């Protein structure tokens, strides 16, 4: 049954590939012969964000199947709550795919307010249990939006204190909590953590190998630029990369960032982990996969 479905999807994708091949060539993107190999890149491993790569379907499980049809072997997602975790676990096992990371703690209520720390610790414990069911090794956490009456220094100290409380839980479950700094100029006005210097200070203050950074290159480009230089400065604290081009938060190659240059720097520094594709495909998921597929040709 699954074999027949995948043959059917493969045929449909092949027809779509023919229809978009001319467009791909016009944008300097080679069209591979086999759509099932689009995600099988030589040097870099990608985790497709199934919240932003929707394939025109609502069911997260079906989105996972569509990701697999393009040859990718990893996914990432936003909050796990509200999703059928058993179904996601089954489909990822069936397709030999990895749930690389998901969000365990979002913007509200803020981790930067100590009144929320008990709830934060309980939610991280629950997220670790979910991670065990999915085989996930990284859980994303967000610092939180600005708290009235608090300075940035105070909010950051509260983030440090909250993360320290969660360290024993992460250690027990062999999970890494990844803290993501955002950008304040385009997407997250009113957030308390953006750019790399403050994020690195927080990670160093927590002082645990189980608390690292999610280094979203889209946010970093908007917040501070100098992507390769800043990456070198913070590399020892990076557990995970995400990418999207700017402006637009779309496919690499549609904006101003030279991702081939940037990811070569990460590779040369020794990074061999996953890279999250947290962007909205500008034209189609297939063309986005093609654009991603040329990044590691360095």
Each residue's pLDDT tens digit, 271-296 = 999 999 999 999 999 999 999 999 99
- In this prediction, residue 34 carries a pLDDT of 84
Cα–Cα dist 262/298, whole Å? 11
Distance CA 21, CA 287 (A): 9
Mean pLDDT computed over 66-80: 98
Nearest partner of 194 among 135, 146, 256, 247, judged by Cα: 146
In this predicted structure, what is the pLDDT of residue 23? 46
pLDDT of residue 283: 97
For residue 245, report the phi and psi dihedrals to the nearest 5 degrees. -85, 165
Q: What tokens does 241 get? A: 């990369």
Written as six digits, the tokens of 92 are: 């990822």
Q: Residue 6's closest CA among 63, 55, 65?
A: 65
Q: Is the dihedral of CA 248, 227, 260, 34 positive or negative?
A: negative
pLDDT at 246: 98
Determine the Cα–Cα distance for residues 9 and 15; give it in Å rounded to an integer.
10
SS3 151: coil
Q: What is the pLDDT of residue 30?
A: 46
The yes-or-no verdict on residue 107 having pLDDT over 90 is yes
Q: What is the pLDDT of residue 95?
A: 98
**Tens-place pLDDT, residues 210-230:** 999 999 999 999 999 999 999
Contact 195, 147 (CB under 8 A): no
Give the pLDDT score at 295: 97
pLDDT band at 259 (very low <50, low <70, confident <90, very high): very high
pLDDT of residue 27: 46
pLDDT > 90? residue 233: yes
Q: Tell me the pLDDT of the chain averaged across its residues.
A: 92
- Evaluate if residue 83 carries a pLDDT over 70: yes
Which residue, 131, 128, 155, is CA-closest to 143?
Answer: 155
In tens, the pLDDT along 142-165 reads 999 999 999 999 999 999 999 999
* Mean pLDDT (whole number) for 107-121: 98
The pLDDT value recorded for residue 125 is 98
Cβ within 8 Å of residue 156, ≥6 positions away: 112, 143, 192, 193, 198, 201, 202
| pTM check: above 0.95 | no
Helix axes 85-94, 60-69, angle to 10 degrees: 20
pLDDT band at 9 (very low <50, low <70, confident <90, very high): low
The number of beta carbons lying within 10 Å of the beta carbon of residue 48 is 31
Per DSSP, 109 falls in state S
Residues with Cβ within 8 Å of 152's Cβ and at least 6 positions away in sequence, in order, are: 192, 198
Query: What dotted CATH number matches 35-293?
Result: 3.20.20.150
Domain locations in the chain?
A: 35-293
Q: SS3 of 150, please?
A: coil
Q: Which of 19-33, 82-96, 264-278 has the lowest mean pLDDT?
A: 19-33
Determine what percent of the chain is predicted with pLDDT higher than 90: 88
**Residue of 165 and 5 predicted with greater confidence:** 165
């Amino acid at each position: 049954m699954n074999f027949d479905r995948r043959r059917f999807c493969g045929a449909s994708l092949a027809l779509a590939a023919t229809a978009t091949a001319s467009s791909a060539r016009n944008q300097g993107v080679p069209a591979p012969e086999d759509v099932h190999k689009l995600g099988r890149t030589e040097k870099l491993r990608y985790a497709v964000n199934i919240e932003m790569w929707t394939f025109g379907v609502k069911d997260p499980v079906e989105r996972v199947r569509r990701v697999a049809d393009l040859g990718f072997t990893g996914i990432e997602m936003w909050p796990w709550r509200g999703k059928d975790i058993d179904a996601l676990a089954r489909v990822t096992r069936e397709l030999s795919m990895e749930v690389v990371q998901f969000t365990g703690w979002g913007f509200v209520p803020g981790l930067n307010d100590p009144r929320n720390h008990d709830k934060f610790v309980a939610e991280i414990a629950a997220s670790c249990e979910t991670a065990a069911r999915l085989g996930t090794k990284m859980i994303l956490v967000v610092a939180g939006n600005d708290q009235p009456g608090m300075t940035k220094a105070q909010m950051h100290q509260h983030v440090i204190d909250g993360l320290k409380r969660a360290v024993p839980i992460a250690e027990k479950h062999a999970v890494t909590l990844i803290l993501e700094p955002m950008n304040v100029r385009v997407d997250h006005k009113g957030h308390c953590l953006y750019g790399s210097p403050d994020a690195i200070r927080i990670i160093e203050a927590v002082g645990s190998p189980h608390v690292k950074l999610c280094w979203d290159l889209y946010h970093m480009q908007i917040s501070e630029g100098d992507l390769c230089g800043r990456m070198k400065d913070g590399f020892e604290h990076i557990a995970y990369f995400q990418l999207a081009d700017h402006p637009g938060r779309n496919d690499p190659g549609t904006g101003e960032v030279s991702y081939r240059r940037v990811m070569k720097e990460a590779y040369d520094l020794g990074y061999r982990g996953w890279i999250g594709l947290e962007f909205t495909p500008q034209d189609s998921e297939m063309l986005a996969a093609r654009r991603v597929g040329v990044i590691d040709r360095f």
